[in-house]
Amino acid sequence: MSSDFETYEQDFGTITAEITSKIGRIPKLSGEEKTQLVLNVDKQLEEVRELLEQMDLEVREIPIQSRAMYNSRLKSYKQEMEKLEKDFKRSRIAYSDEVRNELLGDDASSSENQLIKLREERAHLLDNTEKLERSSRRLEAGYQIAVETEQVGQEILTNLHSDREKIQRARERLRETDANLGKSSRVLTGMLRRELMPIVLHAVVLVLSALVD
């Protein structure tokens, strides 16, 4: 299992390095070229999310004595992913000085303050969006834990019910065995009485005969 995890780690490192490079290029572009690069990065981020999900599944299969180390590594990768997403969102609304001047032309200097204000407002909106997304992910994780806990509890109840039935069947067999032993004991006692009675009578006759003589 750990070998699969390490393979996912290598893929994670390769893709995130490409994403980081492309995020740095986005503010320098405009128009269709920028749109295409944004779509490309968005697709790669989705690939990274799937890798993290696979890594999470692999960690759950790792023996518990080694799991803490892999959990720590997975946590750092998730933090790196959050940073990439934040940088990506900021890069989509950012422009280099060259691109900004090209877009605004002669009004670049007079509109700079408006751009800065707009950028700050968008950044604030993105921060709020990220907080909502993190809360949503925590809720989903909590729900998943609750579902898994319910499943484990149901399995335990099923096992307990099965064990109870086994115990009841064992008790019934013990009662049947006791009853059979009682019957056997009575049968043996009757047989012994029937076998011993002639011997006892014969002995009594001999004693009486001896006394008469």
- Residue 115 to residue 104: CA distance in whole angstroms: 10
Residue 106 above 60 pLDDT? no
In the predicted model, what is the mean pLDDT of residues 36-60?
Answer: 95
In the predicted model, what is the mean pLDDT of residues 97-119?
Answer: 54
> If we measure between CA atoms, which residue out of 82, 87, 77 comes closest to residue 25?
87
Contact 94, 27 (CB under 8 A): yes
> If we measure between CA atoms, which residue out of 133, 139, 128 comes closest to residue 81?
133
Q: Return the pLDDT at 143.
A: 65
Q: Return the pLDDT at 73.
A: 94
* 1-104: CATH number: 1.20.58.400
Instruction: Give residue-wise pLDDT tens across range 54-104.
Output: 999 999 998 988 899 999 999 999 999 999 999 999 988 876 544 455 545
pTM: 0.48
Contact 45, 99 (CB under 8 A): no
Instruction: Give residue-wise pLDDT tens across range 120-171.
Output: 676 667 767 777 777 677 777 666 766 666 776 677 777 777 778 888 887 8
Contact 61, 80 (CB under 8 A): no
